[in-house]
Amino acid sequence: SLCTGEAPSLSYQELKDLKKTNVLHIDVRERWEIDRFGKIPASINIPLGELVEALQMDPAEFKEQYNQKMPSKSDPVVFSCLAGTRSKQALGFATSLGFS
């Protein structure tokens, strides 16, 4: 279950399987990293520095900015980055904003 607060790590295959469901995959790398290393299919890029603001946006504003429906506080969300440090921070931010 993704509802554990202890930053569960996912394997590539687990993430692939999860993406067949309606999980929202947020890549918190910087835009230059996406340009340099490539976008992960079916993910949206919200750099870590924008995440807190993004998760508090009006849903219409979120959709306009990120071209994706804003997650509700109970929707399954996966965060990824390059090495795992920023995605753990992202999880902490989301949890502090009331996301389960």
Cα 86 from Cα 99, distance rounded (Å): 17
Known catalytic membership, residue 3 = no
Residues 6+ apart with CB under 8 A from 67: 44
Contact 100, 45 (CB under 8 A): no
Burial 44-54 (b: 16+ CB within 10 A, else e): bbbbbebbeeb
Q: Which of these is catalytic: 46, 81, 90, 91?
A: 81
Active site (catalytic) residues: 81
